[in-house]
C-alpha cells in the first residue's frame, strides 16, 4: 500500500532522520486511500514509548498522501533475539512490552490485526517498537468491521487468528492470538505445525480443528544446530524443553486458543502472566493449588529451598507438599541430601536459558 523512505532534515537547524511513508503510485483506489488515511489517523492518536510516533503528514506535489514517522534504528525482533542469542526470559520481557503497547492501542479503540515478527523493531537499547499499523482497525469504525468479515484479506495469513481466516468477527483478543504466535516463534524459531501449510484455505481448515501444539513439544524436536543458532552453544533441547514445560506451555496455549472467549481477555492480562512467570509467581491461567504454589515458590527461590528434617506435624505437612511438587514437576529435582539431613531442591531457574 505504501513505500517507506528514509529522509534527512535539510533546513540546517538540526540533524534529524525520519521515515516517510508515501502512498504508492497506482494504488489510489478509494478503498486503499481510505485505509492509508486511516493508518495516519490511528498513528496520530497513539502516544506510547513502544509505538512509533507520527511526526507530520500531508500531500505530496504529485497529490499522494504521506506521513512522517520517527525512525527506529534496529532489527526485527526475531533477528535481534537471534543475533544476541537472548535467553528465554529476555525474549519474554520483549513480548511483555509489546503486549503493553497493544493494551494501550486497544484502550484507544485500535486493533492492530497484523502483528508478526517483521512488524516489530527492536532498537540498540533493546526497546521494542510497533511501526506498522497499515491494516489496523478502529473498533468504532463499523463499516470496516463489515468489510473485514467479507473475506477481504487485509492480513498476513501465516500470523492471522482463526477468526480472521474464517471471516468471523475480530476484536482485541485477535491481537492476543497473534502475540501468542509471535512468542511461540520467538521461543523455538518456528511457528506451530498447524501453521506450516501451503495456502490460506488449508490453514483455515487446520485452524478450525480444536488441536494445538505445546511450545515445549516443538522445542523437544528441535535439532541441536537450531537451538545453538537461537540460544548459543549453552543451550540444548532437553534444557529448553524443561524451561518451556509447565507454566509457559499454559500461557502460550491460552493465548492460542481457537475460541476467542477462551484466550486471555486482554493484552494486559497476557503481559501480567508473562511477568508472573518471570518473577516466579503463580500464573492466573493455571488453576490454583497448594502443590502448584509450592512449585512456584521453589522456582522463585531458585538458589535452593532447604527443608529441615520433619520433627513436628507442620514440618511433615510442608515436606509432603514439597515432595508432591517435585513428583508433579520434573523441572524441580532433589539435588542431594546433606549430612545434616536437609534435603536441597533446585529448579529450572538457574539454567542460562531462563536468566
Residues carrying an active site annotation: 114
CB 189 within 8 A of CB 244: no
The residues, any chain, with a CB within 8 Å of residue 283's CB and separated by 6 or more, are: 247, 250, 251, 273, 276, 277
> Using H for helix, E for strand and C for coil, what is the string for the chain?
CEEEEEEECCCCCCCCEEEEEEECCCCCCHHHHHHHHHHHHHHHHCCCCCECCEEEEEECCCCCEEEEEECCCEEEHHHHHHHCCCCHHHHHHHHHHHHHHHHHHHHCCEECCCCCHHHCEEECCCCEEECCCCCCEECCCHHHHHHHCCCCCCCCHHHCCHHHHCCCCCCHHHHHHHHHHHHHHHHHCCCCHHHCCCCHHHHHHHHCCCCCCCHHHHHHCCCHHHHHHHHCCCCCHHHHHHHHCCHHHHHHHHHCCCCHHHCCCCHHHHHHHHHHHHCCCCCCCCCCCHHHHHHHHHHHCCCCEEECCCCCHHHHHHHHHHHHHHHHCCCCEEEEECCCCCEEEECHHHCCCCC
* Residue reference for cell 528434617: 309
Amino acid at each position: 500500500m505504501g513505500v517507506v523512505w528514509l529522509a534527512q532534515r535539510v533546513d540546517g537547524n538540526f540533524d534529524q532522520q525520519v521515515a516517510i511513508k508515501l502512498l504508492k503510485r497506482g494504488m489510489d483506489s478509494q478503498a486503499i486511500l481510505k485505509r492509508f488515511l486511516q493508518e495516519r489517523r490511528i498513528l496520530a492518536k497513539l502516544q506510547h514509548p513502544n509505538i512509533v510516533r507520527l511526526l507530520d503528514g500531508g500531500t505530496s506535489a504529485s497529490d499522494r498522501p504521506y506521513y512522517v514517522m520517527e525512525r527506529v534504528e534496529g532489527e526485527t525482533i526475531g533477528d535481534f533475539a537471534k543475533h544476541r542469542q537472548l535467553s528465554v526470559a529476555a525474549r519474554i520481557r520483549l513480548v511483555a512490552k509489546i503486549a503493553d503497547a497493544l493494551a494501550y492501542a486497544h484502550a484507544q479503540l485500535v486493533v492492530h490485526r497484523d502483528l508478526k515478527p517483521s512488524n516489530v523493531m527492536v532498537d540498540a537499547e533493546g526497546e521494542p517498537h510497533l511501526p506498522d499499523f497499515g491494516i489496523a482497525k478502529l473498533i468504532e469504525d463499523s463499516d470496516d468491521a463489515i468489510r473485514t468479515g467479507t473475506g477481504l484479506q487485509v492480513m498476513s495469513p501465516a500470523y492471522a487468528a482463526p477468526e480472521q481466516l474464517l471471516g468471523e468477527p475480530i476484536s482485541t483478543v485477535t491481537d492476543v492470538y497473534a502475540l501468542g504466535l509471535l512468542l511461540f516463534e520467538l521461543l523455538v524459531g518456528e511457528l506451530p505445525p498447524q501453521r506450516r501449510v501451503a495456502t490460506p484455505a488449508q490453514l483455515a481448515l487446520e485452524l478450525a480443528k480444536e488441536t494445538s501444539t505445546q511450545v515445549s513439544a516443538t522445542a523437544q524436536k528441535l535439532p541441536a544446530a537450531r537451538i545453538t543458532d537461537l540460544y548459543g552453544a549453552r543451550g540444548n533441547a532437553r534444557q529448553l524443553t524443561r524451561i518451556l514445560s509447565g507454566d509457559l506451555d499454559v500461557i502460550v496455549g491460552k493465548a492460542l486458543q481457537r475460541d476467542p472467549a477462551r484466550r486471555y481477555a486482554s493484552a494486559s492480562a497476557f503481559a501480567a502472566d508473562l511477568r508472573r512467570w518471570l518473577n516466579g509467581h503463580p500464573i492466573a491461567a493455571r488453576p490454583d493449588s497448594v502443590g502448584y504454589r509450592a512449585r512456584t515458590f521453589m522456582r522463585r527461590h531458585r538458589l535452593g529451598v532447604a527443608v529441615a528434617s520433619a520433627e513436628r506435624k507442620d514440618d511433615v505437612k510442608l515436606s509432603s507438599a514439597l515432595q508432591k511438587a517435585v513428583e508433579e514437576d520434573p523441572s524441580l529435582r532433589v539435588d542431594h541430601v546433606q549430612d545434616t539431613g536437609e534435603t536441597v531442591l533446585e529448579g529450572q531457574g538457574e539454567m542460562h536459558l531462563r536468566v
